[in-house]
Structure formats: structure tokens, C-alpha cells
């Protein structure tokens, strides 16, 4: 989702300001304790019990306290058994209700692996094949190149290499209006920026359409794709695994034990995120990120994955062949120089809804999930019959905790030196120092800049925004989300840019400038760092005209 499976931790921890800090040469370096993992091929892991189990629980408690994350829940599966299942912290910051193994949280983009598993069950049933053209399932599907659209297959949509570029900001700023029908219309206008299968491009829109295509193969009507998808995943994946409380329905979530989502802005303090906003955002591309689950039920999912398609009760959910097809390494994922080397090693290729990598010579299959207010990590080592699921109710540092827990577990069961705690602390300290350095440079928006920006504007891709004064503050209002703006000088002596400082927009590495358009009008331009290894995207806006033809400007 916003930060997706492959969380750029530096961006997360600096509350979206890391791209700005990079311009000031303040990027945190990888920790010197990120040493090479020894070869573990053929090494049997020790059981997570006794002192090892106590050490792992202590690590989780300490990590939450260090990172000010309200709560987390963790499940560890080893040799088919659930050997660790605990909750830590609280469901809502400042309140006492604890996180339990049954506390529901949105698992974000980990949903993608459920979607791919659902599709695998349909392949088993003979309803579709991985090579079925999408257009055979969704006749309204097209792309900016119709010939590519005719050839694009179901597997291509799950591969992160469909040729469709990543376009998350469209979802963040305009999620209330997204439906399956609109999603199909939107992707038809996006440029194809690479040949199919040749370049890693993580697209929530592509994956969502893949989920709806699977639902169509399963009998969903064209006007019932979302409901059909949810019912299909329920019938073919969740129910066979006994995941009774896992759901796509926010109303169902609110009936029981659930956590409040939280995000951290420039204050460094986690703040609650509206549950309605969270729910509506993930629903915009439901097959890519809308599933709510708990540590207990994610343990059953891990047991099925490590059991090569068998549910904990021994019933087959999906065939070995088609489950392992989702694990097969596909397009290469470019390494991110901002991440610790061990993380880059864990995410070398993308399969179908999974990242495929390496830990000490063992195959590591994983996926992270990030929404407005939750962070999740699910990872397993098939050769070691070991897996972990970490769910947290905070979207910034919670992602780092989830990764750190994964590696601390591996260290404990393989009797390795305890580098994860050091790595976690070193990276956190560097990122927090970077954030503080950037925050110290933020300035109020001055009167002239506020006047130049004020108005209503529209962009073909992002929809309508308004920029207005509220007392001393200048507000960017996109309808679904709003944020105060602050001025920042990227380069000494250079022009000011304007950055959002309130969640969830602080999670997007973006800033505004004011530039003249072709008509000479001063209008805003949003710059977004879409992927750390790619050039930023530019979104120029034009004034919204009133009925009389003049640009509309809200009253002060």
C-alpha cells in the first residue's frame, strides 16, 4: 500500500522527509554490524523454547519501547507447530486494552499473497490458468497499448512486472472514489514504462485488477467484482484454514478485538488514524491490501505455506505445484542502497505476491504490508520449516520492528550473534537523527507564499486539491486527507519547497513547489519520490475555474 511490502525504511522512519534529507547529504548509512550471514545450508534450527523464547519476547518488548510503537502481535511456526504466539503493548495509545494474539490489524500488502494463493486454488480447479489473458476474464480491461493488454496474463498482474508503473499517490489522495470499474478505467490511461516481465514496478492497481480477474474466473459478475473477490477468498482460503475472524469488512472488525491504527508525524509521537479513513483507503484496491487478520490466524496461514498447501487439520487447500508457483523467483528487485545489506539480500526477486531472497543460503520468502496506520511482515524459510508473522499498529517505526523481529528470530534459532538488536538500534538512531535535522530546518509558510498557493487546483491523475489558510497554518486539503505545510530549503541558497507534516501525507516522500504554468499563472507542482532508484514524478496542477471562468480561491 502506501509503503507497500518493500518498505523503504529510511523513508518510513523519517516520516516521509528522507528524500529531502538526502539532498542535504544526511542519509543514514547502513550499520557496520550488517555483516554477512554465515552459510546455514543443511543447518537444523534450534527450537524456539526456554531461554531462546524468553530472549525473543524480551527483544519485542524492548523494541516497542525504543520505537514508541503502541502494540504488536507475533506468531512463530516451527516444524508445523505454533511455538510462539503473543501480544505486546496496547491497542490504542494512551489506553490500557492490551494487544492479544487475537487482535485484528490490517495486514496491508501481505494481502497480495492471499490473492495469489486464491488464484492458485482457481488454477487447481481448472477455472483459469496462470497464462489466461486478463481480457478473457475482464473484457473491459485495456491499457495505453491495446496490443499489450491483449497479451497480458493473470500471472503478469501478480508479478510486479506488468509494465504498469507504481502510482500510489493517486490512491492516497483520491481513494474514496475508487471502484473496480474506475480502477479499470484509470489503468487504461497510465503509460506503460517497461516491457512486460523486464522491470520491477510495484503496482497496487495491477495487483488489485489481478484479484478482480480471479474473482471473475470464479463466477463474479462484472458489477460484483469486489464482493465476488471477498467471497472467493473467504470460501477458498480463509475458511479452509479456520481463519474465521480474518475479514475485508470493517464492520466485522469493529465487533471484536481490534487495534487502532497509528502514524507518526514530525513530532515523533504516534497518533491515532481514523479507522474509517484506514478502511476506505485499503478498500480502494482491496486485493492488494485490505485484509484484516490476527497473529493467531496468520499462524494458520504460515502452517499452510510451510505445509506446502496443507491446512493445519491436514486438508489440502492448494496444490504443491500451484502454491510453489507463487514462490518462484521472477523479476529482479533492484537493491536499495539505503537499506541494510541483509534486507536487500532478503528481497532479490519478486514472485507472485511474494518477495524471494536469501538468508544464509536458505530461501527466504516474505512480504511486508504498510497502510496509513499498520505495518506487517510475514516471512518463512521453507528449508528450515520456520516462519514468522509480525503485526503492528503503527505505520512508521512499526515496519522496522517487524523486520528486526524476523532477523532476531533467525539469529536465536540458528545460534548466531545477536546483530538484529544492534542493527535495529543503529538504524533507528541514524534515522531519528536525520529526521530531527530536517525538522529543525522546517519554517512556517510566509504570507506571500501562502497567498501565491491559495486556491483550488486539479490534476488529471490526482484529482482536486485545495490550499488555504487556517489561522497561522497553510493547509493542503485533498478531501480524503489533509496536512499542514512547512517550508524547507533543500539546498543552501536555493528555493523553498513545501512539505506536508501531518499523517498520512508525511508517509509519502513528497513536496510542493509553486511554478508558473503555460498561461503564466503560479500553480502548485507536487514532486513525489516514487521509488528510491527512479527519477521523481511531477504532478503539475491547474486552477479550478468557477462558473464565471475565474480561478476559484477559498475564503481566508
H/E/C letters for each residue in 174-238? Answer: HHHHCCHHHHHHHHCCCCCCCCCCCCCCCCHHHHHHHHHHHHHHCCCCHHHHHHHHHHHHHHHHH
CA angle 243, 247, 249 (to 5 degrees): 160
Tens of pLDDT along 190-207? 999 999 999 999 999 999
pLDDT of residue 259: 98
Q: What distance lies between CA 461 and its chain's CA centroid?
A: 20
Q: What pLDDT is attached to residue 549?
A: 41
Give 452's Cβ-side CA count (13 Å radius). Answer: 17
Residues 6+ apart with CB under 8 A from 342: 34, 37, 359, 407, 423
What is the grid cell recorded at 268? 515523533
| pLDDT reading at 213 higher than 90 | yes
Q: Is 514 helix (H, G, I), strand (E, B) or coil?
A: strand
CATH 3.30.750.24 for domain 9-432: no
Q: Across residues 292-305, what is the average pLDDT? A: 98
Burial class (CB in 10 A: 0-12, 13-18, 19+), 96: exposed
Residue 507's pLDDT band (cuts 50, 70, 90): low
How is residue 4 written as a grid cell?
507497500
Kindly give the residue spans of alpha helices, DSSP state H, lying in 91-179. 111-124, 134-137, 146-151, 154-158, 168-174
The yes-or-no verdict on residue 389 having pLDDT over 90 is yes
In the predicted structure, residue 291 carries a pLDDT above the cut 90: yes
Grid cell for residue 413: 534459532
d(CA 73, CA 104): 10
pLDDT at 1 over 50: no
Question: Which three three-digit cell numbers place residue 223?
Answer: 458489477
Q: What is the pTM of this model?
A: 0.91
Rounded Cα distance between 54 and 52, Å, is 5
- Counting every residue written for the chain, the total comes to 556
How far is 303 from 79, CA to CA, in rounded Å? 9
Selected residue with higher pLDDT from 277 and 375: 375
Q: Residue 439, Cβ neighbours under 10 Å: how many?
A: 19
pLDDT at position 21 over 80: no
pLDDT at residue 541 is higher than 60: yes
User: Residues 246-279: pLDDT tens digits?
Assistant: 999 999 999 999 999 999 877 788 999 999 889 8
- Please give the sequence-ordered ranges of beta strands (E in DSSP) within 261-415, or none if there are none: 262-264, 270-272, 292-293, 349-350, 355-359, 362-370, 375-381, 386-392
Confirm if 74 and 302 have CB atoms less than 8 A apart. Answer: no
**Residues 237 and 317 sit within 8 Å (Cβ to Cβ):** yes
Q: Which residues of 154-185 are buried (b: 16+ CB within 10 A; e: fewer)?
A: bbbbbbbbbbbbbbbbbbbbbbeebebeebbe
Does residue 354 surpass a pLDDT of 90? yes
Neighbours of 546 (CB within 10 A): 11
pLDDT for residue 287 is more than 90? yes
Cell of 402: 517487524
Average pLDDT score over the chain:
88
Strands of the 362-370 sheet, one edge to the other = 81-89, 71-78, 386-392, 375-381, 362-370, 355-359, 349-350
Q: Determine what percent of the chain is predicted with pLDDT higher than 90.
A: 69
Q: What is the mean pLDDT of residues 477-481?
A: 90
Q: What is the pLDDT of residue 268?
A: 80
Task: Give the mean model confidence (pLDDT) for residues 82-111.
Answer: 98
Amino acid at each position: 500500500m502506501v509503503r507497500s511490502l518493500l518498505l523503504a525504511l529510511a523513508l518510513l522512519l523519517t516520516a516521509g522527509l528522507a528524500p529531502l534529507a538526502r539532498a542535504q547529504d544526511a542519509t543514514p548509512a547502513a550499520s557496520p554490524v550488517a555483516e554477512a550471514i554465515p552459510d546455514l545450508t543443511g543447518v537444523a534450527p534450534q527450537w524456539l523454547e526456554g531461554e531462546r523464547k524468553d530472549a525473543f519476547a524480551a527483544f519485542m518488548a524492548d523494541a516497542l519501547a525504543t520505537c514508541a510503537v503502541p502494540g504488536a502481535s507475533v506468531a512463530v511456526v516451527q516444524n508445523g507447530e505454533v511455538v510462539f504466539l503473543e501480544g505486546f503493548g496496547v491497542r490504542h495509545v494512551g489506553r490500557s486494552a492490551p494487544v492479544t494474539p487475537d487482535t485484528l490489524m490490517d495486514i496491508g500488502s501481505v494481502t497480495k499473497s492471499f490473492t495469489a494463493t486464491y488464484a492458485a486454488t482457481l488454477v487447481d480447479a481448472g477455472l483459469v490458468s496462470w497464462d489466461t489473458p486478463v481480457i478473457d476474464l475482464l473484457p473491459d480491461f485495456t491499457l495505453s497499448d491495446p496490443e499489450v493488454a491483449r497479451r497480458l496474463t493473470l500471472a503478469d498482474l501478480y508479478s510486479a512486472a506488468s509494465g504498469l508503473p507504481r502510482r500510489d499517490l493517486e490512491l492516497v489522495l483520491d481513494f474514496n472514489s475508487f471502484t473496480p470499474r474506475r480502477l479499470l478505467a484509470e489503468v487504461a490511461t497510465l503509460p506503460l514504462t517497461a516491457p512486460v516481465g523486464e522491470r520491477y514496478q510495484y503496482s497496487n492497481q495491477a495487483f488489485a485488477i489481478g484479484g478482480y480477474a480471479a474473482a471473475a474466473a470464479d463466477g463474479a459478475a462484472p458489477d460484483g467484482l469486489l464482493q465476488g473477490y471477498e467471497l472467493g477468498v473467504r470460501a477458498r482460503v480463509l475458511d479452509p484454514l479456520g481463519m474465521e475472524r480474518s475479514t475485508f469488512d470493517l464492520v466485522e472488525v469493529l465487533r471484536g478485538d481490534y487495534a487502532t491504527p497509528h502514524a507518526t508525524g514530525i513530532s515523533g509521537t504516534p497518533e491515532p488514524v481514523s479507522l474509517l479513513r484506514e478502511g476506505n483507503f485499503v478498500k480502494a484496491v482491496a486485493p492488494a491490501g485490505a485484509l484484516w487478520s490476527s497473529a493467531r490466524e496468520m499462524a494458520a496461514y504460515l502452517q499452510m505455506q510451510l505445509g506446502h498447501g496443507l491446512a493445519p487439520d491436514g486438508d489440502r487447500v492448494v496444490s504443491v505445484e500451484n502454491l510453489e508457483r507463487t514462490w518462484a523467483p521472477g523479476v529482479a528487485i533492484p537493491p536499495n542502497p539505503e537499506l541494510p545489506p541483509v534486507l536487500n539480500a532478503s528481497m532479490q526477486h519478486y514472485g507472485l505476491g511474494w518477495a524471494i531472497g536469501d538468508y544464509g543460503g536458505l530461501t527466504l520468502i516474505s512480504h511486508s504490508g504498510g497502510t496509513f496506520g499498520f505495518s506487517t511482515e510475514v516471512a518463512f524459510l521453507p528449508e528450515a520449516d520456520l516462519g514468522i508473522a509480525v503485526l503492528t499498529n503503527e505505520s512508521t517505526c512499526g515496519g522496522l520492528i517487524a523486520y528486526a523481529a524476523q532477523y532476531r528470530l533467525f539469529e536465536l534459532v540458528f545460534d548466531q550473534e545477536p546483530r538484529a538488536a544492534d542493527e535495529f538500534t543503529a538504524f533507528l538512531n541514524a534515522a531519528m537523527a536525520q529526521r530531527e535535522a530536517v525538522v529543525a530546518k522546517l519554517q512556517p509558510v510566509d504570507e506571500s507564499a501562502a497567498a501565491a498557493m491559495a486556491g483550488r487546483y486539479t490534476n488529471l491523475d490526482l484529482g482536486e486539491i485545495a490550499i488555504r489558510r487556517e489561522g497561522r497554518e497553510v493547509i493542503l486539503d485533498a478531501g480524503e486527507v489533509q496536512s499542514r505545510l512547512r517550508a524547507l530549503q533543500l539546498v543552501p541558497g536555493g528555493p523553498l519547497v513545501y512539505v506536508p507534516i501531518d499523517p498520512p501525507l508525511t508517509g509519502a516522500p513528497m513536496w510542493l513547489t509553486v511554478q508558473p504554468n503555460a498561461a503564466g499563472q503560479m500553480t502548485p507542482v507536487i514532486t513525489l519520490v516514487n521509488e528510491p532508484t527512479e527519477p521523481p514524478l511531477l504532478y503539475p496542477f491547474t486552477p479550478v475555474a468557477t462558473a464565471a471562468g475565474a480561478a476559484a480561491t477559498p475564503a481566508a
